[in-house]
Structure 1
Amino acid sequence: MHPAEIKVLLIEDDEDDYLITQNLLKQISLTRYLVDWVSTYEAAEQILDDDDHDVYLVDYRLGREIGLELFQSPQRRERPFILLTGQGDQDIDLAAMEAGAADYLVKGHISAAALERSIRYAIEHHYTLQALRTSLRKHDDLAAAIDQISTGVVITDALAPDNPIIFVNPAFLRITGYDPPEILGRNCRFLQGQDTSSVTLEKLRRAIQNRQPFFGVLLNYRKDGTPFWNELSVNPVFDQDGQLVRFVGLQTDISHRIRTEEQILHSALHDKLTDLPNRTLFTDRIDQALIYSKSQKDLRWSVFLLDIDRFKMINDSLGHRIGDELLVQISQRLLESLGEDDTLARLGGDEFAILLHHRDSPLNAIYVANQIHQSLEEPFHVGDHDVFVSTSIGITLSLTDYENPEDILRDADTAMYRAKDQGRSRYAIFDASMHDHIVTIQQIETDLRRAIAQDELRVYYQPIISIATAQLVGFEALMRWQHPSRGLVPPDQFIPVAEETGLIIPMGEWILRQACQQMNAWINLGSATQNLQVNVNLASRQVCQSGFVALVQSILNEYQLDPKHLKLEITESTIMDDMNVARDTLEELQALGIAIAIDDFGTGYSSLSYLHRFPINTLKIDRTFISKIDTHESDLNMVGVMVLLAHNLKMNVVAEGVENETQVQILNRVGCEYGQGYFYSRPIPAAEIAPLLETMHFPIQPEKPLP
C-alpha cells in the first residue's frame, strides 16, 4: 500500500528533533505527510487508544519514561510504529523489535529517503499482517492475496504435531533459496540456522511455547549456506472459539540495513584515512581498561601518545597527498610493533595513540617505545621519495590512580612534550614533577597576562660592535619582565610560555614598537648615530601571523623610522616550521628595506644548504661555538667554515657571546665582522645607553658576566 497522504503521529519530547523530522518529511515529494506532535508520555497515553494515524514515530526516551512502553498492550502493539533513539545500541535495537516496532532509526543518521523507506515498510507490514489474519479466518487459499508482497510469509499448522509449515510465498522462497518441496511439511527449526544471539533465539522459542507474538532479528542461513540478517515477526492466529490454529511468520532480509548501520558505526569510530580507531573509540577503550583495572588489580597497561617530529615540514615540502600516504605507512609500521590485544589509534593530524597491555611488567612499555623508534629508522618509500621520520612519545602508566581517560591523555600529552624538549626520537614517562612543571607554566601564563596589562615588561639593549674597529653599529632589543615579587625575570623563563600560549603576538608587537620608538630618538641625536640598527627578535607565530608585514610597515610609519635602521632576527627553527610562509614573509619584509638575520645559528639544523633560498643578510653564530674557540680547535675550525660560507652567500656575520679579548682577536682573524657579548656590554636599559652614544667606541676591557 502506497497512499498519497500519510498521517504521522510524532511522540518526541525535543522540539528541535520535531522540527528536523518535519523538515525531512517535507523533502519527500511523492507523498504528503500530515504530522501531529505530542511531547510527553502522558499526552500520548491520552490519544493512542482512539487514534487513527497511519504510522507512529516514538522517541525511546520521553523524560523519565520509556517510549516503547506506550505500545505494550495487544491493541497498540499491532499499530505500525518506528522507534527513534539518540544513539545506536544493540540492546535498544533488540528491545524495539521485541516490543513490535517495525523499524529502529538513529537520530543524526536519518535521511529523508531512509525515513520514507522505514515508514512505508511499517505500513506495508501492518496491512500485510492484517490481511493474513482476515484471510486465515475466511479460507485456506492465501496465495492470491500474498504472492505479490515483498515480505516473506511462512504459515505453520498449530493443530498438527510439531507445528509443520503449510504455506510459503514466493518472497520467502527468494529470501531463503529453498524450493517448496524442501520446506512444506517440515518444522521451522531447520530454518533458524546458527543465530549469533542465543538470547534472541530462546525468546522466539519461549514465545511460541506460550502462544505469544514475537519480533526480533536473527542471523539465519540460506540453502547455500550464505548468512543473512532476518527481521522476523511471528504471530499466533486463533479461531472464533479462541483455539490456536496457525502461526504466521513475516520475515524480511535486512542485511543491507545492518551493513549500513555497521558502516555508519564504523565510520563514527574510525579514522577515515588510516581506518584506525579514532579518539572516541580509543577513549572508550581506555575507559574499559580503567574498569577492568578496578576488578583485576594485577592488570597492567599504559597509554602512549605519539607525535611525528617535523611532520608539518614534510607536508609543506612534499604536499598533503604524500603526507597522507606517509601517515598510512607509519600506522602500518606501528601496528607491527604491537600485540593483538593492543590498540593503535589516530587522534588527528600526525598524532597517534596506543593502549598497550603489558605482557610481563611495566618495563615492557619502555621496550615497545624503543621498538617503535627502531621501526621508524628505515626510510618510508612514498611516491618517488624516500622519507625519514621520527616520533616523540609520551607515556602514562596504569600504576597511577586515574579516574577518567581525559586525565590519562592529558598526562601522556605532557610527557610527549617533555620528550620533544629532549630532542627528536625520544620518549618520556609521565611523573609528578611534570605535573608540577605544568602548574608552574600555567602560573607564569597568568602572571604574564597581568604583566602585559600592568606594564611590567621592559626593553634592554645589548650593543653590537664592529670587531675590527670597536665601533658601535647597533643594538639587539631584548625583553625583560619586572615581576613585582620575583624581580627582573630573564627571557628564557617566560618567552617559551608566551610562544606556546600565543601571548608572544601582543608581546612581540609591544617590543617592536618600543624598539622603533627608541631607535628614532637615538638617530635624532646627531650625525654619529645615523647608521645604527636595532635588532628585534621574531617568533614563529609572528612570522605566520596574518597581516604581520603590514603591521611592521605601520609601526615604521608611526615612528617615522627608516626601514634601514631595523633588522629582524629569526631562528632556524622558525624558518623550518613553515618554510613557504617564512620565505614569503621575509621577502616582503626585505622589499620594505628591512634587513633579516638568522639568530643562534648552529643550534638548529646546522646547515647552510637552505639559506640561499631565503633573503638573509646576517648570520649570528651561537654562543656555544664562540665560547670555546680559544680553547678547542674543532670549534675554531667550525666558526671559520661558517664565516667563509656566510660570506660566499653575501652575508655578514655576528658572533654572539663574546667574553674576552682573545676571542675578539680570533674572530677578527677569521673575518667575522661583528661581535656581541659581555666583553663589550651586558644588556642595559635605554637610560644607560647615552654615554655609549657619545664616543661610539668601546674600551678593550671585558665586563664580568652577571651571576
Structure 2
Amino acid sequence: MTDDTTTTTPNDAGTPTRALATVVDAAELAVTVLGIDGSVLHANPLGARLFQLSAGVASDALTIVLDQVPKQLLDGPEGGTWSGEVSLGSTLERPSVHAVTVHAHHDAAHPAGGYLAILADDVTHERERVARLVHQLEHDPTTGLLNRSAAIARIGEALASPGATTTAVLLIDVDRLADVNDALGHDTGDRLLASTARRLSTAVRPDDLVARIGGDQFIVLCRDLDGPPAALELADRIRRSLTGRLTIQQLELDVSVSVGVAVVDDSWSSSSDEPNPDSRLRALELISRADTAVHAAKQRGRGHTAQFSEQLGSQARVRTELSSALSRALRDGQLEVEYQPIFSAVSEMAEAAEALLRWNHPSRGRVEAGEFIPIAEETGVIVPIGDWVLQQACATARQWIDAGLVGSRFSVHVNVSRLQLAGPTFVNRVVDLLREFRLRPRQVVLEVREASLVDDDSDEVVRSVRALRRVGVRVAIDNFGTGSHALSLMTDIGADVLKLDGSLALPNGASETDTRVVRALVLLAHALNMEVVAERVTGLEQLRRLRAAGCDLVQGHLVGSPAAADQLVVQMEL
C-alpha cells in the first residue's frame, strides 16, 4: 500500500441522511460508513460485497484498510482525510488492489462518537496493465529474460552495495548466430536464442541474474562468489552446458558459446577518479570488460572462456584506437602498396609479384600488417581497403606491361579476405577490373588463406573461388600447411597455385624427412595442375633444397624484398 497524503480538515457533517444514502448506494465506488467505535452505519451494495459485510459487523477487509490509516486520523480530535492504495488479496477470492480514501469525523454528540467514510475504487486492472507495461519495458520478448537496460540497472544496484565476497559478470556470446539467421531464417535463430535462455537459466545458481543484452549475447550477474577462480569455474560450467548438438524444428545444429568473465576487484573499483561514480557507468564499464574478455575468447577459437585482465584492456584500447585510425587511413592517403617479386626456381627470373599492403601511421610510423589486418577484418573495413589494393595492383600490372618491364606470362598476386570473397558482388568486381585495365584473367592471382576456405561459414567463399576459376582468374591457397584440412583443400575445393607456408618450406634446420614431405606435396600439386610457391625463403641452403624438392617458384627476402612499384626487381638477387 502507498501512503500518498494526509490532510486534516474539520467537518461538521452528521450521519448520512436517507437522500444521501440513496446517492451513495448509486455510486460506482464501494462506499462504507463506520462509526468511530467500529460499527457499520451504512454501506452501498459495492461496499458490502467488497468488505464482505454481514449483520453490520466489520470484516477482515475493513480491518486491513483501517490498519493503514494513520492513528492520529482515527484517534485525534480533529479528524481529516487519508488516501492510499490497499491490497485486499488475502481476504478476497480474487486478489485486488483498491484506491482508498478515508474521511474521519469526530463528534462527541454522535452516538458512535463520529464516523469514518471509506470510499474504495477497484484499480486492479489498471495496476495489472501498468505491471504488464513495466514487464515489457524490462524484458526481452524473444527469451523472456531481463533486457539490457534492466540488466544495467540491476548490476548498478549490485555495485552500489558491495559485499565482502566476489562479484562477477559473465558475458555469453552465442557462436555463429548470424549464420543460423542467414541460412535458416530468423525464426530458427529466435528459437535457438529461446532454447539458450532456458538452458542458461538452469545452468546458473538460483540467485544469479540472467539477461539478454544484445542480438547474440547474454549476461549473468554473479554475487557471493568465493574469489575469481569460482567465477571462471562457473563460466566454464555454463559454456559446457550450452555446447553440443541441438534439434530445432527438426534441424540439428551444433551450438557453442564463448564466455568472457569480468570480476570486480580492488584495481577495478579504484579506476574511477570519483569517490562514488555513477552506478550505471560502473555497470557499463564492467560489461565492457566482460565484452573485451569474450573477444579474447573468440580469438582462441569458438567455444572458449577468457577472463579480463589489465593486459587485455590495454590491447583492447590499442585495437580501438587503431580501428578508428584505420577507417581514416584510406581516405587520408596513409596506405600504400609494395610489391615482392616471385621468382622461377629454375630461370631465376620474376614471373609474378605479390601486392603487400603498408600503413604509414602519422604518429606511430610504419604499422605492421599483422597488427592492423586482423582489426580491419574484425571491423569490416578490410572490404573497401582490399578493393583499393586490388585496383592498385591491376593498375600497376598494366603499367609494368606497357613499360615492357615484364612479359605476358607475368602475374600479380593479391591477398583477399574472407569478407571480400563472401560478398555477392566480388566476382563481378574482379571481372570489371580485368576489363578496365586490359588484363587477361590468368594475370591476376588471388591469394586466399587456408583458414578462410575451411571455416565453418565458408560456403560463400568457396562459391566465389569456383566462380573466379571458371572465368580464368587463378586462385592461390596461401599459408598452406598451417591447418588440419590442407589436403582436402587441394582435392575438394581446388586451386591453381599452392603457397607453402614458411614453416613448411624447408626452413633452416629442416630434416630429410621434411624434404620428402615437401617433395610429396609438390608431386601431388603437380598432379592436380597446380604450381607450388615456397614462401619466406631466407637462406641459400633452403633455396637449394626447395629446388631439389621440385618447387616451381620461390619468394622471400633472400631473392627479392618488397619495394615500391617503380623498384620492381625482375631477376634473383643472389
Over aligned residue pairs, what C-alpha RMSD do you find? 4.2
1:481 positional shift: 2.6
1:15-54 equivalence runs, <5 A: none
Equivalent-residue separation in structure 2 for 1:610 and 1:636 (angstroms): 20
1:482 positional shift: 3.8
Change (3 A) 1:350 1:443: closer
Q: Which residue of 2 aligns with 1:3?
A: none
Q: How high is the TM-score relative to the length of structure 2?
A: 0.80
Deviations 1:72-123 (A, max 9, x none): xxxxxxxxxxxxxxxxxx9xxx46x6489xxxxxxxxxxxxxxxxxxxxxxx
Q: Which residue of 2 aligns with 1:684?
A: 563
Change (3 A) 1:632 1:489: farther
Change (3 A) 1:186 1:221: farther
Q: Which residue of 1 aligns with 2:30?
A: 153
> Contact (CA 8 Å) 1:165, 1:184: kept in 2 or not?
no
Match of 1:166 among 34, 42, 67: 42
1:478 positional shift: 0.7
Residue 185 of structure 1 aligns to a residue whose secondary structure is coil
1:187 positional shift: 1.8
1:176-191 equivalence runs, <5 A: 178=52, 182-191=53-62
Equivalent-residue separation in structure 2 for 1:529 and 1:184 (angstroms): 114
Q: Which residue of 1 aligns with 2:150?
A: 281
Residue 183 of structure 1 aligns to a residue whose secondary structure is coil
Equivalent-residue separation in structure 2 for 1:637 and 1:226 (angstroms): 81
Change (3 A) 1:263 1:140: closer
The code of the aligned residue for 2:99 comes to E
Residue 232 of structure 1 aligns to a residue whose secondary structure is strand
1:230 positional shift: 2.0
Equivalent-residue separation in structure 2 for 1:385 and 1:641 (angstroms): 39
1:443 positional shift: 4.2
1:220 positional shift: 0.4
1:556-575 equivalence runs, <5 A: 556-571=434-449, 574=452
Change (3 A) 1:452 1:214: same
Equivalent-residue separation in structure 1 for 2:124 and 2:251 (angstroms): 44
1:220-369 equivalence runs, <5 A: 220-221=88-89, 225-236=93-104, 246-293=115-162, 296=163, 298-369=164-235
Q: Which residue of 2 aligns with 1:218?
A: 86
Q: How high is the TM-score relative to the length of structure 1?
A: 0.66
Change (3 A) 1:288 1:666: farther
1:638 positional shift: 9.2
Equivalent-residue separation in structure 1 for 2:325 and 2:131 (angstroms): 51
Q: Which residue of 1 aligns with 2:377?
A: 499
Equivalent-residue separation in structure 1 for 2:124 and 2:515 (angstroms): 73
Deviations 1:332-380 (A, max 9, x none): 3323332122112111111111111133223211211222233234432
1:416-431 equivalence runs, <5 A: 416-431=294-309
> Contact (CA 8 Å) 2:450, 2:477: kept in 1 or not?
yes
Do structure 1's residue 664 and structure 2's residue 546 form an aligned pair? yes
Equivalent-residue separation in structure 2 for 1:299 and 1:165 (angstroms): 59
Change (3 A) 1:191 1:314: same
What are the ranges of 5 or more consecutive residues in structure 1 without an aligned counterpart? Answer: 1-89, 101-132, 693-697, 702-707
> Contact (CA 8 Å) 1:313, 1:577: kept in 2 or not?
no
The code of the aligned residue for 1:382 comes to I
Percent identity (aligned): 28
Equivalent-residue separation in structure 1 for 2:554 and 2:58 (angstroms): 99
> Contact (CA 8 Å) 1:233, 1:249: kept in 2 or not?
yes
The more displaced of 312-321 and 212-221 is 312-321
1:278 positional shift: 1.4
Residue 213 of structure 1 aligns to a residue whose secondary structure is strand
Deviations 1:301-333 (A, max 9, x none): 011222223333333344433332222222233
The code of the aligned residue for 1:233 comes to T
Equivalent-residue separation in structure 1 for 2:358 and 2:460 (angstroms): 29
Residue 691 of structure 1 aligns to a residue whose secondary structure is coil
Number of residue equivalences: 548
Equivalent-residue separation in structure 2 for 1:544 and 1:445 (angstroms): 22
Q: Which residue of 1 aligns with 2:315?
A: 437
Residue 521 of structure 1 aligns to a residue whose secondary structure is helix
Equivalent-residue separation in structure 1 for 2:526 and 2:564 (angstroms): 32
Change (3 A) 1:473 1:366: same
Equivalent-residue separation in structure 2 for 1:175 and 1:436 (angstroms): 65
The code of the aligned residue for 2:149 comes to T
Deviations 1:558-617 (A, max 9, x none): 434344422333345556585565466657756765444443345567377689997965
Do structure 1's residue 479 and structure 2's residue 357 form an aligned pair? yes
The more displaced of 558-567 and 602-611 is 602-611
Q: Which residue of 2 aligns with 1:509?
A: 387
The code of the aligned residue for 1:371 comes to R
> Contact (CA 8 Å) 1:167, 1:184: kept in 2 or not?
no
> Contact (CA 8 Å) 1:191, 1:220: kept in 2 or not?
no
Q: Which residue of 2 aligns with 1:139?
A: 19
Do structure 1's residue 631 and structure 2's residue 511 form an aligned pair? yes
Equivalent-residue separation in structure 1 for 2:504 and 2:83 (angstroms): 80
> Contact (CA 8 Å) 1:461, 1:683: kept in 2 or not?
yes
Deviations 1:493-545 (A, max 9, x none): 22223334454344323322221111001222449621222122223444466
The more displaced of 567-576 and 454-463 is 567-576
Equivalent-residue separation in structure 1 for 2:408 and 2:525 (angstroms): 30
Q: Which residue of 1 aligns with 2:274?
A: none
Q: Which residue of 2 aligns with 1:27?
A: none
Q: Which residue of 2 aligns with 1:376?
A: 242
Change (3 A) 1:155 1:618: same
Q: Which residue of 2 aligns with 1:539?
A: 417
Deviations 1:140-172 (A, max 9, x none): 642xx46565x342322426x323252231x44
Equivalent-residue separation in structure 2 for 1:638 and 1:165 (angstroms): 106
> Contact (CA 8 Å) 1:464, 1:674: kept in 2 or not?
yes
Deviations 1:379-408 (A, max 9, x none): 323333443333322222111216411211
The code of the aligned residue for 2:566 comes to A
Change (3 A) 1:616 1:238: farther
1:474 positional shift: 2.1
1:652 positional shift: 5.7
The code of the aligned residue for 2:318 comes to T
Residue 417 of structure 1 aligns to a residue whose secondary structure is helix
Equivalent-residue separation in structure 2 for 1:574 and 1:626 (angstroms): 21
Change (3 A) 1:485 1:271: closer
> Contact (CA 8 Å) 1:312, 1:578: kept in 2 or not?
no
Equivalent-residue separation in structure 2 for 1:646 and 1:186 (angstroms): 104
Equivalent-residue separation in structure 2 for 1:394 and 1:643 (angstroms): 46
Residue 205 of structure 2 aligns to a residue whose secondary structure is coil
> Contact (CA 8 Å) 2:414, 2:447: kept in 1 or not?
yes
1:280 positional shift: 0.9
> Contact (CA 8 Å) 2:26, 2:44: kept in 1 or not?
no
Q: Which structure has more RCO (C-alpha within 8 Å, separation ≥ 6)?
A: 2
The code of the aligned residue for 1:389 comes to V
Equivalent-residue separation in structure 2 for 1:209 and 1:636 (angstroms): 105
Q: Which residue of 2 aligns with 1:61?
A: none
Equivalent-residue separation in structure 1 for 2:485 and 2:88 (angstroms): 67
Equivalent-residue separation in structure 2 for 1:314 and 1:639 (angstroms): 42
Equivalent-residue separation in structure 1 for 2:519 and 2:367 (angstroms): 31
Change (3 A) 1:319 1:598: farther
Residue 428 of structure 1 aligns to a residue whose secondary structure is strand
